[in-house]
A and B are shown apart, each in its own frame.
Chain A
Amino acid sequence: AQTVTQSQPEMSVQEAETVTLSCTYDTSESNYYLFWYKQPPSRQMILVIRQEAYKQQNATENRFSVNFQKAAKSFSLKISDSQLGDTAMYFCAFMNNYQLIWGAGTKLIIKP
């Protein structure tokens, strides 16, 4: 069975610091996509970044970047220069065909 594990239920850092959220997954598939979504208190799920499994280059979106280690089945999210607005739940997700498998989420708190 395909699974996604986020081992950090909650993290907090000071504003402007760098923080890394971990995500591991288990699959026998070779073609898949990986996503990070954030869910602020407003409750809307917002796509942060995505990674195609066939691409070796790590995806980046401004202050957000991933460390994708396919052999280790690891997909961590790094947030640089963290801002108060980054406070949210962060969910890692694995996609194969149409199916999305979600992690349990990491609650990230950015302190002023």
Chain B
Amino acid sequence: GAGVSQSPSNKVTEKGKDVELRCDPISGHTALYWYRQSLGQGLEFLIYFQGNSAPDKSGLPSDRFSAERTGGSVSTLTIQRTQQEDSAVYLCASSLGTYSPLHFGNGTRLTVT
């Protein structure tokens, strides 16, 4: 079956612009996660969805970052007024629920110039 799909694969944007990153989870997966990974670094947790609600937004680095999930499926991560320090790979993952392994997409590489 289809895995987790993220788009775009790569995004180059100018400082100050807004960007939207999309994640299509595996069908039937109720849990969805967003992570950020800087070059050569580990995973930084951003936000967790269970269904359409986000019980844990504790990792969002500032109010420029927001995310939503609709229909218990597609999720969008929005970064407003992008800064150069936002440059990273943004990874999305989904799972069947608690204690289930995460399945990751290929990520979106965001470059802010």
A residues contacting B by CB (< 8 A) are: 33, 35, 37, 42-47, 50, 91, 95, 97-100, 102-105
Contacts and interface: CB of A to CB of B under 8 A. Distances in A.
A35 B99 CA distance: 11
B99 A97 contact: yes
Nearest to A43: B107
B42 A104 contact: yes
B20 interface: no
Nearest to B45: A100
A32 B24 CA distance: 27
A64 to B, nearest CB: 14
Contacts of A50: 101
Interface in B59-73: none
B31 A44 contact: no
Most buried by A among B33, B89, B101, B106: B101
Interface of B: 31, 33, 41-43, 45, 48, 50, 56, 89, 91, 93, 97-99, 101-107, 109
B104 A33 contact: no
Nearest to A42: B106
A97 B48 CA distance: 12
Contacts of B50: 98
Contact of B93 (A45, A99, A103, A105): A45
A89 B19 CA distance: 28
B31 A102 contact: no
Nearest to A49: B101
A43 B101 contact: no
Contacts of B45: 100
B107 A98 contact: no
A102 B93 CA distance: 14
